[in-house]
Amino acid sequence: MRPPLRQHALAVRGGGAEPDLHIAGKLFPALRKTVISGERLSEALAKVLDAAALADLAVIAALWLLADPLLRGWRRLHREARAAPWDRSFARLWARGLRRLAATMGALYVLDLGCLAAQTMGVPLGRDDVPLLAASFLYPVWFGRLASNIKRRALRVYPSREGPVAPNGDGKVLVYDRLCDVALAVFVAVVILELLSLELGVAFASLVAVSGASSVVVALACQEPLKHVINGLLLTFSDKFRPGDEISFGDVAGTVVNWGWFDTKIRQYNERTVVVPNGQIMNAKLINISRQRWGQYKTELRLRLEDGPIMDEVVAAIRAAVAPHAISRDRNVWVHWRRIDRDALVVVVDVKLPVPSGTTAYHELVERLNANIVRAIKEAEADLCLPTSRRI
């Protein structure tokens, strides 16, 4: 008669004759199905070595190692190295794309061999075409990324109002960039769905219907982010500002650092960067300081009542002091003795300046104008009046 503990162990293992288990199976009978014998592991390794072709590995390695030097040599033969440096050339984009293709091919090759080893060792995978499904996804993504990089590089040399290469990006360039990104994303998604439909044996219309129903659910759950994306596209079409422009709206003022799909990063004058959703910018009254071609200086001077007899000389002196800093000395300089108040003679100075309002250059020019006006009043032997509350 067997001891009770021995009978319990056999009952756990399924009863009957005691199986031939390793030490792990003897200590943990519940794990006996996951214990892999040395023979099965050797069989899996032999199948992997037999399936791995040295020619395939050599092609992948050559594509990874030789893409960069071959394209560099091709540029030298065609004398394109003088046209643009390597870092800003199309050949460098192709070299990076080929290296990423080699990395994708290597990853799929390793996945294929791993699936073969797993099937040999009895590991359930659920499907036999896992590598094909992965390839149906990775290759279109690789192509879309390469096309996006080439598109972005081509748009950088788009002729704009600022020259062959616009430092801040022309508004039309940003529109084309965003539209091409959307078109590439749709194209890659359609190709992936078509390839998956061929591999899975499911009709393409069924996949589109499922993806459409899923998109409705996602749209309902992501209304706020989608609103910011749409507002970002509207901002692109309206061309209110570009990266690098100095803008002001509400209580935010500074330089646009980055313009994304969902939000915009603005570096304020205190060197702090604030992230503003595109929806908030779209609904705000925005002033693009960088696009202002001129600024305005306007002030009201109050002179003493006793300076009345020499006001003609004072006005002429003020006009001569501010005229050199105006856009033109004829039409954009207004200095007039407007009225006589109870305690002062009022002179209005209105000048158009060649620098945009709100910029550092504008404030420095305003400071020089203030100094010139005070100096001209003193040289004309007049003076500004002191504030008074006397009633006449």
Q: Three-state secondary structure along the chain?
A: CCCHHHHHHHHHHCCCCCCCCCHHHHHCHHHHHHCCCHHHHHHHHHHHHHHCCHHHHHHHHHHHHHHHHHHHHHHHHCCCCCCCCHHHCHHHHHHHHHHHHHHHHHHHHHHHHHHHHHHHCCCCCCCCCHHHHHHHHHHHHHHHHHHHHHHHHHHHCCCECCECCCCCCCHHHHHHHHHHHHHHHHHHHHHHHHHHHHHHCCCHHHHHHHHHHHHHHHHHHCHHHHHHHHHHHHHHHHCCCCCCCEEEECCEEEEEEEECCCEEEEEECCCCEEEEEHHHHHCCCCEEHHHCCCEEEEEEEEECHHHHHHHHHHHHHHHHHHHHHCCCCCCCEEEEEEEECCCCEEEEEEEEECCCCCCHHHHHHHHHHHHHHHHHHHHCCCCECCCCCCCC
**What distance in Å separates the CA atoms of residue 93 and residue 180, rounded to the nearest whole number?**
18
**Tens place of pLDDT for every residue, the chain, 392 residues?**
444 434 434 343 444 444 454 554 454 554 454 555 556 667 777 777 777 777 878 888 888 888 777 777 777 766 654 556 666 677 778 888 888 888 888 888 888 888 888 877 777 777 777 888 888 888 888 888 888 888 877 776 655 444 434 444 455 666 677 778 878 888 888 887 777 776 666 555 555 555 555 555 555 556 666 676 777 777 777 778 878 888 888 888 888 888 777 888 999 888 889 998 888 888 888 888 877 778 889 999 999 999 999 999 999 999 999 988 888 755 678 899 999 988 899 999 999 888 887 777 888 999 999 999 999 999 999 999 876 544 43
Burial of 186 (0-12, 13-18, 19+ CB in 10 A): exposed
Amino acid in the structure at residue 192: I
Tally of CA atoms within 13 A in the half-sphere of 238 that contains its CB: 14
Torsion of CA 131, 137, 139, 143, to 10 degrees: -170
Cβ atoms 357, 290 nearer than 8 A: no
Tell me yes or no: is domain 242-289 CATH 2.40.37.10: no
> Considering the entire predicted model, what is its pTM?
0.48
Hey, CA dihedral for 157, 162, 167, 173, is it positive or negative?
negative
β-bridge partners, 277 = 263
Residue with tokens 């779209």: 282
Angle at 139 between CA 133 and CA 145, to 5 degrees: 140
Q: Answer yes or no: are the C-beta atoms of 107 and 137 closer than 8 Å.
A: no
Q: Cα separation of 208 and 332, whole Å?
A: 64
Residues ≥6 apart with Cβ < 8 Å to 152: 177
The position carrying tokens 């080699």 is: 102
Domain ranges of the chain: 4-35, 44-228, 242-289, 292-379
What six digits make up the tokens of 222?
């992501």
| C-beta of residue 240 within 8 angstroms of C-beta of residue 246 | no
Query: Residue 123 is which amino acid?
Result: V
Burial (CB count <10 Å: 0-12, 13-18, 19+), residue 215: exposed
Q: In a 10 Å sphere around its CB, with 0-12 CB exposed, 13-18 middle and 19+ buried, how is residue 21 labelled?
A: middle
Amino acid in the structure at residue 285: K
Q: Are strands 273-277 and 287-288 parallel, antiparallel or unpaired?
A: unpaired
Enumerate the β-bridge partners of residue 275: 265
Class level of CATH domain 292-379? alpha beta
